[in-house]
Structure 1
């Protein structure tokens, strides 16, 4: 096997076509974060972006997108943003993960959302559920599973939708928006949400804002950005921006106007979004790893994603272990214990309120 490492901008039409063929031939890889378009757009903004191209004979058998950081530290492309990571590969490929990262010039590769079943996985790793809205049997069939599994939530959401319209006006849903204004509104809501809940604001980093703006303008056959918003009396209430393949929409940045919070606008929006997505050919909405209440209420299936690292004996790998692994294990312990997770969430929200009050 030959392995060549290039920057995404160096990929030509031949490589992009081969990447797409490998991805579409393997259902487990049907996620927009694994699409060539996503890596190429990240590469426009991230000089540390790289792609390992794996070849056997005259055939390309794999693509491994990653980022190369100082001391040989490797991370997934757009690390911290992606809900699906790994190698896009031929089904019968055989490889040694350590040989791959060595060929990439890495001493360690850390991952937290690697697709389960990857030939890239090391001997030891942790697995976590990633909830999905499975509409492969159609939107109506999906709604029936929601009614069965979360009937109280569905009835409550329908009631709140009617009340929202009685109080403010007719509900309108726009799907596949390309305008800049609703995107700016959504990003502003999301920044406010991060601050209120004590989380780090992803949109404080200009490259992430620009990446979202660039992706929002893409609408190809195999890949595109999807922005949608619900309105009452022309006032934006809730929305979402994600990316898609032909049949999978990755849930990415949902947010809503907190002035409407008592109406559960997030749930109202997600059900509306699912219906429009299904009409456009989407069969799965991947909600992403994470224990969020709305995900539990909306899911009717789940994937598995993996967390861990591949390391070679080196100083860089040792320093990485000291700085990352104990923290990751502590976080996993907290999230696995509902009581500890609730306590941590309350602490973050208290910090968020304090930070917001000091900033005002």
Structure 2
């Protein structure tokens, strides 16, 4: 087995084709964040982006996208925004994590949303959670029937609010794969305002994130796309979502809505309309990410899949120093996440801070 480290732009057509075959042959790897398209786009906005190409005598057997920072410390590619990470590999392939990191020039590698069935990293997991998945391979009507049986009050309430929005504001319509850059800017403005209200870091406050999503929004192929979905009432945009998809899998990334219409739950209506449109294109599932107690995610959920976070450290002085710097903070965070009361208190405190910060900007 040979491991070579390259920049994403150096991936050739044969390697990209092999990468796509690996994704198609393993449904749990058929995630847009694990696609070569996302890796290449990250390489265009980050000088730290790398790919380890793992080959045997008959060709590539795996691809490991990562970021290489200073001092031998690395992280999952696009770790601040990526919702799926790991090695894309040929079925049955086996890897040694220590040898892989050594070939990548890393003594430490951190991951935050590792996909399932990556046994070479399993010993290094520090937190295991469940991501919510909506299945609609049988079509939108079948999905609604299952949702009606699973969450009847949720569906009834959402459909009622959609009708009321139509009566009060105007006809409710939806678009999938909107190309208008002005609509995309509007969605980002909504999302930035939401981050501020919640007291959380604004993803779109980083120039590289804005450049990344704009590049991904421009891609629209059978294998990969960055669709922007919008919901309108009386012709006025009231909610939207920007996510990524492969041919069969879509992932929820940046949903947002106009707070003026919050009483109608436009975000929920938009999600249902988005599923309807995606199903017509042959997409069969939507991954909404970790629930964290979200009522709407739990109501929509068809099934869950495990995602993990953790850190791989090789035996080295650099890894030991990294442990001393980061482990105390990691343990405190884990303690809070494992305690619902503490997590709720922390979430409420962040939202109070967000309201104060927003009030200070508008006062």
Q: Which of 332, 335, 343 matches 2:334?
A: 332
3-state SS of paired residue (1:123): helix
- Structure 1 residue 336: Cα displacement: 3.0
**Alignment-derived partner of residue 323 in structure 1:** 325
**Alignment-derived partner of residue 202 in structure 2:** 201
- Structure 1 residue 21: Cα displacement: 1.2
Structure 1: stretches of 5+ with no match in the other structure: none
- Structure 1 residue 329: Cα displacement: 3.2
Query: Counterparts of 2:331 and 2:277 in 1: how far apart (Å)?
Result: 39
Correspondence 1:80-119 to 2 at 5 A: 80-119=80-119
The size of the alignment, in residue pairs, is 360
Correspondence 1:182-193 to 2 at 5 A: 182-193=183-194
Query: Counterparts of 1:358 and 1:322 in 2: how far apart (Å)?
Result: 37
Residues 1:283 and 2:279 aligned together: no
Q: Provide, for residues 8-44 of structure 1, a one-character-per-residue CA deviation record: whole Å limited to 9, x for no partner.
A: 0111111111111111111110100000011001101
Query: Counterparts of 1:332 and 1:282 in 2: how far apart (Å)?
Result: 35
Q: Provide, for residues 166-215 of structure 1, a one-character-per-residue CA deviation record: whole Å limited to 9, x for no partner.
A: 11000010111111011000000000000000000010111100111111
Q: Provide, for residues 107-127 of structure 1, a one-character-per-residue CA deviation record: whole Å limited to 9, x for no partner.
A: 111111111111431424132
Query: Counterparts of 1:109 and 1:64 in 2: how far apart (Å)?
Result: 12
Q: Does the C-alpha gap of structure 1 residues 8 and 305 become closer, same or farther in structure 2, counting only changes over 3 Å?
A: same
Aligned structure 1 segments of 4 or more residues deviating by more than 6 angstroms: none
Query: Counterparts of 1:152 and 1:73 in 2: how far apart (Å)?
Result: 48
Residues 1:347 and 2:349 aligned together: yes
Structure 2: stretches of 5+ with no match in the other structure: none
Query: Counterparts of 2:353 and 2:325 in 1: how far apart (Å)?
Result: 24
**Alignment-derived partner of residue 130 in structure 1:** 131
- Structure 1 residue 128: Cα displacement: 1.1
- Structure 1 residue 221: Cα displacement: 1.4
Q: Provide, for residues 87-135 of structure 1, a one-character-per-residue CA deviation record: whole Å limited to 9, x for no partner.
A: 0011121221111011100011111111111143142413210101111
- Structure 1 residue 340: Cα displacement: 2.0
- Structure 1 residue 293: Cα displacement: 2.5
- Structure 1 residue 157: Cα displacement: 0.8
Correspondence 1:193-232 to 2 at 5 A: 193-232=194-233
Normalised to the residue count of structure 1, the TM-score between the two structures is: 0.97
RMSD in angstroms over aligned alpha carbons? 1.3
- Structure 1 residue 147: Cα displacement: 1.6
Q: Does the C-alpha gap of structure 1 residues 341 and 215 become closer, same or farther in structure 2, counting only changes over 3 Å?
A: same
Correspondence 1:124-203 to 2 at 5 A: 124-125=124-125, 126-203=127-204
Query: Counterparts of 1:47 and 1:74 in 2: how far apart (Å)?
Result: 13
Query: Counterparts of 1:302 and 1:359 in 2: how far apart (Å)?
Result: 39
Q: 2:79–2:112: 8 Å Cα contact kept in structure 1?
A: no
Q: 2:291–2:298: 8 Å Cα contact kept in structure 1?
A: no
Query: Counterparts of 1:232 and 1:142 in 2: how far apart (Å)?
Result: 24
Normalised to the residue count of structure 2, the TM-score between the two structures is: 0.96
Correspondence 1:45-56 to 2 at 5 A: 45-56=45-56
